[in-house]
Amino acid sequence: MEMLEGQTLRGLTQGKSLPSDQIIRVALQIADALEAAIQRDHPPDIKPANIFVTQRGHVKILDFGLAKLASAKRMENGAVSQSREIAAEYVSTPQVTIGTLPYMSPEQALGEDLDSRTDLFSLGSVLYELATGIPAFKGNTPPVLFQEILTKTQRLLRV
């Protein structure tokens, strides 16, 4: 196991925005790691707490807990959807969403089939938070968060 010295994006930002040049450096590295993970069918759980920035500025994605879930994904040859496989493996109730609520895509929130676009949506949510210092979607309860994810249009950011 690699020893890492640095901090997560959550610790790095602490509710503040990052300078745009740092956001770009971090975003490029996350996107590169995300592409490699998706090609191997190992989608990570993209959120600031799972993205680590080393003291040298190298970005590492830490949590691939969802990768095990995606490995059960099968082509449409009579297999159940990925969302249902996820629910079946981790909970006894079908149609349950798995992921971190404020960074979920609308498809995750709805319990639909997922693909790499879900990871890109989560990355966009993380980048929004890095640029503004606030989460893209906020709510005190899961239903409020789901409502935000499904209906809110983010305002354009001026850079």
Q: Which pLDDT does position 69 carry in this prediction? A: 47
> pLDDT tens digit string along 50-106?
999 999 999 999 875 544 444 444 333 344 444 444 434 433 344 555 678 899 999
CATH number, residue 118: 1.10.510.10
State how far the Cα of 67 lies from the Cα of 45, in Å rounded to an integer: 8
> pLDDT tens digit string along 103-152?
999 998 888 888 888 889 999 999 999 999 999 999 999 999 999 999 99
Does 159 reside within a domain? no
Q: What pTM did the predictor assign?
A: 0.77
Does 48 reside within a domain? yes
Among 41, 45, 113, 115, the one annotated catalytic: 41
Does 10 reside within a domain? yes
Does 124 reside within a domain? yes
Does 15 reside within a domain? yes
User: Domain total for the chain?
Assistant: 1
Does 50 reside within a domain? yes
Does 1 reside within a domain? no
Does 71 reside within a domain? yes
For tokens 């297999």, the residue is: 79
Q: Which pLDDT does position 154 carry in this prediction? A: 79
Structural domain boundaries enclosing 106: 6-151
Query: Could you write out the three-class secondary structure of the chain?
Result: CCCCCEEEHHHHHCCCCCCHHHHHHHHHHHHHHHHHHHHCCCCCCCCHHHEEEECCCCEEECCCHHHHHHCCCCCCCCCCCHHHHHHHHHCCCCCCCCCCHHHCCHHHHCCCCCCHHHHHHHHHHHHHHHHHCCCCCCCCCHHHHHHHHHHCCCCCCCC
Active site residue 32: no
Which residues are registered as beta bridge partners of 61?
51
